Chains A and B, each alone.
Chain A
Amino acid sequence: MVSSLKGYTGSILRINLTSNKIAIQKLRKSFVRTYLGGRGFASRILYDEIKREIDPLGPENLLMFATGPLNGTAWPQTGRYDVYAKSPLTGIWGETNSGGHWGSELKYAGFDAVILEGASEKPVYLWIDDNEVEIRDAKPVWGKNTSETDQLIKEELGDRGIEIACIGQAGENMVRYAGIMTRLHCAAARSGIGAVMGSKRLKAIVVRGSKDIELAHPDKFHEVAERAHKRLLNHPFTKSLIKYGTPILVEAMNEIGRFPTKNFQTGVFPRADDIGGEILNEKYKIGHKACFDCPIGCKQHVILRKGPYADLMKGEDSQIEYESLSALGGRCWNGDMDAVLYCNDLCDKYGLDTTGVGGAIGFVMECYEKGLLTKADTDGLDLRWGDPNVIIELIHKIARREGFGDFLAEGVKIMADKIGEEAKKYAMHVKGSDISAQDGRAQKSMGLAHATAARGADHLYAYPVLDEIGFEDAIIERFGEKYLPEISDRLNPRYKGFMVKECEDLCAIADSLVVCKFGVGWPPVFYFKDLAEAVSVATGFKISEKALRLTGERIVNLNRAFNVRMGITRKDDSLPERFLKEPAPEGPCKGQAVELDQMLNEYYQHRKWDTKTGIPTEAKLKALGLKEIAEDLKKIKVI
């Protein structure tokens, strides 16, 4: 059936895993225009349907896989998908995103999104074969890792072209930072959404699609998309991303003192070159892989050729990103690249967020260093910094929730609460989510972005990366000259409130379309104007740049309203004491701490949120067309 909505399939698949009821919900045009897709859709649906008090790992939680109007089209980098739920790691807005091909395949199968309610009694997986939807027995793959699951399901269905989003043992065991994997190494890692999948005993969603996506103006769209491909490929900032991928950031961020080391004790890792992009390229790389319709192909395809870890990996190839090199390397003081690659592969197979794993292990290593944990707590393990064997052992224990690993599987915040007051100083999280691979003391915009991101400490909710190294031309293109030089100075807190607000609104659009941040944020090629043109030509809606900006703002406000209802206020938009009171001890940022209050005030002013509480004002919500949300927040007396 052809959708009357161009660019969309027009259908959301809704499944209750308790009753096995399968329903197809039609999208309304007014809803689509207001919320666009992906994160926009989820923002409204989760706000309306998830109650404040529910257990994120209980059947009342909603799990939503979503795409947007550009997925599966010729616009570059459109194989992505997002997943949303109340997070078991933070208890607030949960969101995770991944590249690959699953998102485009879901569109070809005829669905813009899949919503899972309830929980199955026995392990199941979902098989979506175009419009045919089947809930199948997952007993043969329950207990298997993501690689085995991928293989076994392909054999069972007799089709190697299917796309599989699955959890490993970590998700089954409800590790609070378990993720979802596609194509073995593409991770929707954050917010512990893999644990929500595990709680519903849903092992995988398997998709095969063969339908077309109808566009409003196909010829014009293909012109626009072809131009976009060329601009992306020819952008001067793209060259390095193609050759090195994100791993080259290890050396670069270490050079500016921003590479998380020893649980963020410092931003300088003496062995950064040993685990960086250069050595990865020279010694391990066998190629690079691309997601659906991406001309860059940033995924570094690597192999371990010899040594004990190569034996353990049995000749299998792998992929690694900057975030994982940081989390499993510098953060744990581990400079052994072979070991880092093996640990990363283990996390992919178990279905674990490497940031959560590195965050948890770095934290317990520091607690051990400070005498807050002893061998009596650690199953006898000597948690000295950087021992690869200990890190590997802990990854196994976390995924299986064995002994001390059961404690680590709860995440940094819960661990710190249990260890005691002193440990909270070393718990590097915001709102319960581990801080990703940026030290805010060395880039103030990132410090603010970690504090304000709806899913907790996260670089991708705003992705304010233009001031990392400080490329003025790109900054002028987006923000004009009036904020220079302060805005491009990563150590200056001025104008960072403005910058983070603008970047958050842009990322809300990227996550709703659903396109890659590599193209929107870095390289900084596509901005509101380009995305407004693409979505207008695809859908036939006349969406101006101004309207798109307002949509981005609407989505961020809805995410905030969701969190406000969960009790979040300005007090939670904070950073660990280390970033606020413990100046960076060495390197180019020596003596720096994060001036968070100053930046937060500026941020709330630009958002037109109450600067005392950090809560959106009634006027702001109404101006964004969110009158019912304002009324709802008034009912619970927060505005």
Chain B
Amino acid sequence: MPIRVKFFATLRDAARKREVEVDAQGEGMDILNLMRFLFGKLGDDFKRAVLDPETGNIRRYIKIMVNGRDIELLNGLKTLVKDGDIVQVFPPIGGG
């Protein structure tokens, strides 16, 4: 089973999809490479929504989780993902 990457709220507009499936090709893919792959696959709107053009880094207020756990509490962008994992990408959202 491939990795499922799910997008929420305004990021769904940018990605033009609710979710995509990505083949992890073994266990060698980290979040940084996954996001780079998604920028190519989903286009410039998604890239602009996620990437800060000034720093080239992922925007501070884009939150990425693996199986519901914040990657900041795992291994950041180096967090490895494998087939069957669910990756959630949130824009700034919350409040209730």
Instruction: List residues of A whose CB falls within 8 A of some B CB.
Output: 236-237, 239-241, 243-244, 246, 248-249, 251-253, 255-257, 277-278, 321-323, 437-438, 459, 465-466, 468-474, 485, 488-489, 518, 521-523, 587-589
CB distance from B88 to the nearest CB of A (A): 5
Which listed residue (B10, B91, B92, B93) contacts A249, Cβ 8 A? B93
Contact between A469 and B90 (Cβ–Cβ < 8 Å)?
yes
Q: Which of A252, A323, A488 has the most CB of B within 10 A?
A: A252
* B82 interfacial contact with A, CB 8 Å: no
Task: Give Cα A323 to B95, complex, Å.
Answer: 11
Cβ < 8 Å to A, chain B residues 49-91: 60-61, 63, 65, 67-70, 72-73, 88, 90-91
Which listed residue (A241, A248, A588) contacts B68, Cβ 8 A? A588
Task: Give Cα A472 to B59, complex, Å.
Answer: 12
Cβ-closest chain A residue relative to B88 = A255
Q: For residue A323, which residues in chain B have a CB less than 8 angstroms away from its CB?
A: 96
Contact between A236 and B92 (Cβ–Cβ < 8 Å)?
yes
Task: Give Cα A243 to B8, complex, Å.
Answer: 12
Contact between B72 and A470 (Cβ–Cβ < 8 Å)?
yes
Q: For residue B18, which residues in chain A have a CB less than 8 angstroms away from its CB?
A: 278
Q: For residue A248, which residues in chain B have a CB less than 8 angstroms away from its CB?
A: 8-9, 93
CB distance from B40 to the nearest CB of A (A): 25
Cβ-closest chain B residue relative to A321 = B96
* B47 interfacial contact with A, CB 8 Å: no
Contact between B67 and A470 (Cβ–Cβ < 8 Å)?
no
CB distance from B66 to the nearest CB of A (A): 10
- Chain B interface secondary structure, helix, strand, loop or mixed? loop
Contact between A256 and B95 (Cβ–Cβ < 8 Å)?
no
Q: For residue A472, which residues in chain B have a CB less than 8 angstroms away from its CB?
A: 60, 72
Contact between B63 and A255 (Cβ–Cβ < 8 Å)?
no
Instruction: List residues of B whose CB falls within 8 A of some A CB.
Output: 6, 8-10, 12, 18, 60-61, 63, 65, 67-70, 72-73, 88, 90-96
Contact between B68 and A587 (Cβ–Cβ < 8 Å)?
yes
CB distance from B65 to the nearest CB of A (A): 7
Task: Give Cα A471 to B8, complex, Å.
Answer: 15
Q: For residue B92, which residues in chain A have a CB less than 8 angstroms away from its CB?
A: 236-237, 239-240, 471, 523
Question: Could you list 16 A-B pairs, sorted by A, with CB under 8 Å?
Answer: A237-B61, A240-B9, A246-B95, A248-B9, A249-B95, A252-B8, A255-B8, A255-B65, A278-B18, A438-B96, A465-B96, A469-B70, A473-B61, A485-B72, A518-B95, A522-B96
Known: A255-B8, A473-B60. A465 touches B70 (CB 8 A): no
Which listed residue (B63, B67, B95) contacts A241, Cβ 8 A? B95
Task: Give Cα A50 to B95, complex, Å.
Answer: 33
Q: Which of A249, A277, A469, A488 has the most CB of B within 10 A?
A: A469
Contact between B91 and A239 (Cβ–Cβ < 8 Å)?
yes
Task: Give Cα A160 to B82, complex, Å.
Answer: 61
Task: Give Cα A464 to B29, complex, Å.
Answer: 34
CB distance from B11 to the nearest CB of A (A): 9
Q: For residue A470, which residues in chain B have a CB less than 8 angstroms away from its CB?
A: 63, 70, 72-73
Task: Give Cα A556 to B81, complex, Å.
Answer: 45
Q: For residue B95, which residues in chain A have a CB less than 8 angstroms away from its CB?
A: 241, 246, 249, 465, 468, 518, 521-523
CB distance from B32 to the nearest CB of A (A): 18
Contact between B73 and A489 (Cβ–Cβ < 8 Å)?
yes
Task: Give Cα A243 to B91, complex, Å.
Answer: 13
Q: For residue B69, which residues in chain A have a CB less than 8 angstroms away from its CB?
A: 588
Which listed residue (B9, B68, B91) contacts A256, Cβ 8 A? B68
Contact between A252 and B65 (Cβ–Cβ < 8 Å)?
no
Q: For residue B12, which residues in chain A have a CB less than 8 angstroms away from its CB?
A: 278
Q: For residue A239, which residues in chain B have a CB less than 8 angstroms away from its CB?
A: 10, 91-92
Contact between B61 and A437 (Cβ–Cβ < 8 Å)?
no
Task: Give Cα A472 to B92, complex, Å.
Answer: 11
Q: For residue B91, which residues in chain A have a CB less than 8 angstroms away from its CB?
A: 239-240
Task: Give Cα A9 to B68, complex, Å.
Answer: 50
Q: For residue A465, which residues in chain B have a CB less than 8 angstroms away from its CB?
A: 94-96
Contact between A257 and B68 (Cβ–Cβ < 8 Å)?
yes
Q: For residue A489, which residues in chain B have a CB less than 8 angstroms away from its CB?
A: 70, 73
CB distance from A15 to the nearest CB of B (A): 35
Which listed residue (B60, B65, B96) contacts A322, Cβ 8 A? B96
CB distance from B86 to the nearest CB of A (A): 8
Contact between A255 and B6 (Cβ–Cβ < 8 Å)?
yes
Contact between A252 and B90 (Cβ–Cβ < 8 Å)?
yes
Which listed residue (B9, B73, B90) contacts A243, Cβ 8 A? B9
Cβ-closest chain B residue relative to A244 = B9
Contact between B94 and A249 (Cβ–Cβ < 8 Å)?
yes
CB distance from A74 to the nearest CB of B (A): 24
Cβ-closest chain B residue relative to A442 = B68
CB distance from A231 to the nearest CB of B (A): 15
Q: Which 8 A-B pairs have the closest CB atoms?
A: A588-B68, A522-B95, A237-B92, A468-B94, A240-B9, A322-B96, A470-B70, A473-B60
Cβ-closest chain B residue relative to A248 = B9
Task: Give Cα A246 to B88, complex, Å.
Answer: 19
Contact between B68 and A243 (Cβ–Cβ < 8 Å)?
no
Contact between A469 and B72 (Cβ–Cβ < 8 Å)?
no
Which listed residue (A240, A437, A459, A518) contacts B93, Cβ 8 A? A240
Task: Give Cα A323 to B73, complex, Å.
Answer: 29
Q: Which of A236, A253, A471 has the most CB of B within 10 A?
A: A471
Q: For residue A521, which residues in chain B have a CB less than 8 angstroms away from its CB?
A: 95
CB distance from B64 to the nearest CB of A (A): 10
Task: Give Cα A243 to B60, complex, Å.
Answer: 21
CB distance from A50 to the nearest CB of B (A): 30
Cβ-closest chain A residue relative to B6 = A255
CB distance from B96 to the nearest CB of A (A): 5
Cβ-closest chain B residue relative to A476 = B60
CB distance from A257 to the nearest CB of B (A): 6
Q: Which of B6, B9, B18, B88 has the most CB of A within 10 A?
A: B9
Q: For residue A236, which residues in chain B have a CB less than 8 angstroms away from its CB?
A: 61, 92
Contact between B72 and A252 (Cβ–Cβ < 8 Å)?
no
CB distance from B38 to the nearest CB of A (A): 18
Q: For residue A243, which residues in chain B have a CB less than 8 angstroms away from its CB?
A: 9-10
